[in-house]
Structure 1
Amino acid sequence: MIHLKGYGLTLEQMRAILYKDEKITLDKEAIKAVQNSRRAVEKIVSSGEIVYGINTGFGKFSDVSINEKDVHALQLHLIRSHACGVGTPFEELVSRAMVILRLNALMKGFSGIRLEVLERLAYMINHHIHPVIPSQGSLGASGDLAPLSHLALVLIGEGFVWEANKHIPAANVWSEHGLQPIVLEAKEGLALINGTQAMTAQGVINWLEAETLAYQSEWIAAMTMEALHGITDAFHPSIHEARGYLEQIDVAKRMLYWLEGSQLVTKQGEQRVQDAYSIRCIPQIHGATWQVLSYVKEKLEIEMNAATDNPLIVEDGNIVVSGGNFHGQPIAFAMDFLKVGMAELANVSERRVERLVNPQLNVGLPPFLSPEPGLQSGAMILQYTAASLVSENKTLAHPASVDSIPSSGNQEDHVSMGTIGARHAYQIIQNARGVIAIEAICAVQGVEYRNELLMAPKLLKKWQEIRTFIPSITEDRVFSKDIELMQNYLRT
């Protein structure tokens, strides 16, 4: 059981909630802060004091006062009007992450929302009630307004919920659970949608998948080294300690771990003095991607525990302040950085694929790893596919955060586009997995030509696992299926 309290939530805890169905509960101490901030909102409403978001319009309408009798209608209109998302929905796992993160932010006690609403969000998490949320439509600056409005629609009995890969009306789901939709009160609609949880949720999924793929890329690269009789001297600890990057040192250490006991790798001077950069510089290149992952992890874990709505009720409910914590610039930069790091991991993997299949570079392996060169093409077009994915990544890696378009009558005149960056980062990670899967298929075939019994024991186990679903290339076949199977193996 993980206690949500508005701070201290980690990526590892998110992994447990998302992938292992760990249940959540609301922290008792944090509940007190939530209740204090709600009392402050109720006091403002009853006193008639004009405060943005509680009894005013929104955005350019911030100077329009709202009568006390209309504050309920104001919240309902807000959710409906802002639910303008379009395009393919976010994956259900991203939707789940969005609910978790919005709840955790509201548990900080700065938002003036009722405990009843937070309990319903917790119920959604523990009972797998996941909103269907279109993935396009957020500027990533007044919060992820459109995506989070689709989340809020479910609370009020509108919108749709995922169920067995289908979209079920939320009203039906609440009826099945014996619950009534939530009726939003003052400020609650704004509290639900004013935040960065769409880009951050997608960012969390991105990071968790990227971390796994980065580890996988190392043992696959080690297998490629065996297929190419790579030189292990390049991983000598002293080299990497001389430069000083911890991530580089760690990659070199893990490469030696995977290659321990291999009879296929070589020492410098045995066959050649040094390898090409895509082999020799694995610690430097992969290590730099790990540096990116470290940076992104730091920013995500801050944002996962941040109060990102507006206005915020601070100092024990005594002050209500309008600010800009909803602006997604920190996550926009982090996602753009992640795009570059993961695109480069795929880039260097594709270069190793080329070395495995190119007869001028593969140290005596059959041309294109073909069982009958000329009559059969072997892995020739696998490299084409890898090159295509790498090239697509170069386009997707263009930073979304360098763009901005004014909105709301120029009141919101600078936006982050962080949600676009997060979506593109996810696509780059999927493409990178495809490239690394292709390297794995080629490396497995390459070491088989060398004699898999001479492999490092740890890599031999990986080879044997893969051979249970990827057969040896004894005849040309539809390799698209092989790539799909290898991607699924890496994904799970």
Structure 2
Amino acid sequence: MARAGAPRPLTIATDPLTAEDVLAVAAGADVRIGAAARARIAVSRAVLLEAVERGDAVYGSTRRLGAGADDVVDEQAAFQLQVIRNHAGAIGDAVDPLIVRAAIVVRLAQFALGGSGVRPDVADALVGLLTKGVVPFVPDRGSVGMADLALNAAIAQVVIGEGAVVTDEGDVVSGAEALADAGLVPLELETHEALSLLNTNAFALGSAVLAGPRLDELADVADRCVALALEAAAAHRPSGDLGPYSATVFADVEGSGAWRSAVAIRDLLQGSFLHDGGERRTQDELSFRCAPQVHGALAERAEDLVDATDDALLVRAENPLVDVETRTVVPNGNFASPDLVIGLEAVRIALVHVGRLSGRRTAALSALARPLRAAGRAGIPGLLAYTGAERLNDLRRLAAPVSLDDIVLSEVEDYATWGWTAARTTHDAIDATVDLLAIEALHAASLLRGSEVRLGGGTAPLVAALQRVIERGGGAEELVRGASDALAGD
């Protein structure tokens, strides 16, 4: 039975997952394996066993791994345990449970595509983790992106009754204890199944899918901050020209990300005093005027990333690939996903441009707030602007490409995409941008406190929510978190 409040259960079929499927399971939806998927998994297993029985050299099955890929496996049961324990080399903080659940369902769906060669029992074991809410403790450092081997090993350890699990209360208990409490039985792995549990880019892919909605919301929040900053600045100086956001400016690129951003800013400012005319500067700073173009670039890079995740969900990311149509087992590099990684890298660069504009607008608003600070009426710490400067510094660092690092791990493992690192770093960059925009919004709300100007239909409720955050008080952390929630409509 689905847990109260959880999304509708997902039935795994032989069709690839959608991003919406991954998001639903990450948020708590239960999972079932459909009859067709179970049959496909069984056929894939039969093909794998045929190759083994023929005496074929099958990587991870009749042959060992990595530099030992030409060495014969002597004893299967011991080898399966050795593979998992040898790959359990990750360290660090626990990966977000949402990402862990996303990774598990991605791997489960890859099994159903028929490329893995595992028994249906292995798929059932992953279903059990998801349905019973068992979230393995997965350390966040240890993947070079050519399959998230060490991270997947943390899940595999729990499947066999080892490793550790994070409880709903945030405690860490042994995998054996968590399985027993959930009524699950540790799985005894057979030929090839240890490698199949490890040999997937599911963490990079699941994390990238989860970044999609965050980026969509961030683009909307950035537009809201521009509208707020325009009104806040114009309440204290001759500025706020709406020409840079007009339909005329974007007539040549209708439908583009820049056009959508400009439309959103105009909609937020419907009914604002900015439409009344009056004294205006000839031109506002570029950090105001270029916002639609910059925000549009982020939105379009986010769309590219969604396309890349959709494509990656289609792929049987296995090495070797068990192909049920040709009944062959084929070595390959499907686990690399360079399109996905390059998409993540591009998003982070776009985020820096958004952050740079926000930082410059915050500096302009902070300068206008000097009289308020001098009179003790600002309502927010003046050095929030300094915090914003540090978060912008963080954002610039996080934009550095991670996928260009060269690496040779063995004579056969001489390339890496760093997919998990790219995904993890992208979430960190989103966090930094959220903070920057919240700090900008707080400065705008501070300047509008007690103002008699008529605000836009979209900005007025935002200002009211932000001013409630300011009036509630608390430290800088509470102010920034509260402003983030207000901007997101929470």
2:375 equivalent in structure 1: 372
Aligned partners of 1:210 and 1:342 also within 8 Å: no
Pairwise CA distance, 1:317: 5.6
Distance 1:356 1:186, change over 3 A: same
* In the alignment, structure 1 residue 50 sits paired with structure 2 residue 57: yes
Distance 1:93 1:353, change over 3 A: same
Partner Cα distance (1:197, 1:368) in 2 = 53
SS of match in other structure, 2:134 = coil
Give the alignment of 1:84-163 within 5 angstroms.
Answer: 84-141=89-146, 143-163=147-167
The share of aligned pairs that are identical, in percent, is: 25
Partner Cα distance (1:484, 1:424) in 2 = 20
2:383 equivalent in structure 1: 381
1:179 equivalent in structure 2: 184
Aligned residues: 475
Distance 1:378 1:127, change over 3 A: closer
Give the alignment of 1:178-327 within 5 angstroms.
Answer: 178-229=183-234, 230-243=240-253, 246-264=256-274, 270-316=279-325, 318-327=327-336
SS of match in other structure, 2:59 = coil
Distance 1:59 1:431, change over 3 A: same
Distance 1:2 1:451, change over 3 A: farther
Aligned partners of 1:207 and 1:296 also within 8 Å: yes
Partner Cα distance (1:368, 1:166) in 2 = 49
Partner Cα distance (1:25, 1:55) in 2 = 31
Distance 1:115 1:472, change over 3 A: closer
TM-score (norm 2): 0.91
Aligned partners of 2:321 and 2:329 also within 8 Å: yes
Aligned partners of 2:268 and 2:456 also within 8 Å: yes
Give structure 1 stretches of 5+ with no counterpart. Answer: 360-365
Partner Cα distance (1:291, 1:72) in 2 = 49
1:23 equivalent in structure 2: 30
SS of match in other structure, 1:358 = helix
1:390 equivalent in structure 2: 392
Partner Cα distance (1:111, 1:472) in 2 = 55
Partner Cα distance (1:56, 1:437) in 2 = 54
- Letter matched to residue 9 of structure 1: L
Pick the aligned partner of 2:84 from 62, 79, 101: 79
Between stretches 31-40 and 4-13, larger displacement belongs to 4-13
* In the alignment, structure 1 residue 447 sits paired with structure 2 residue 452: no
Between stretches 343-352 and 269-278, larger displacement belongs to 269-278
Pairwise CA distance, 1:489: 4.6
Pairwise CA distance, 1:265: 5.3
SS of match in other structure, 1:401 = coil
Aligned partners of 2:446 and 2:467 also within 8 Å: no
1:362 equivalent in structure 2: none
TM-score (norm 1): 0.91
Aligned partners of 1:37 and 1:317 also within 8 Å: no
Give structure 2 stretches of 5+ with no counterpart. Answer: 1-8, 235-239
Aligned partners of 2:320 and 2:331 also within 8 Å: yes
Distance 1:449 1:10, change over 3 A: farther
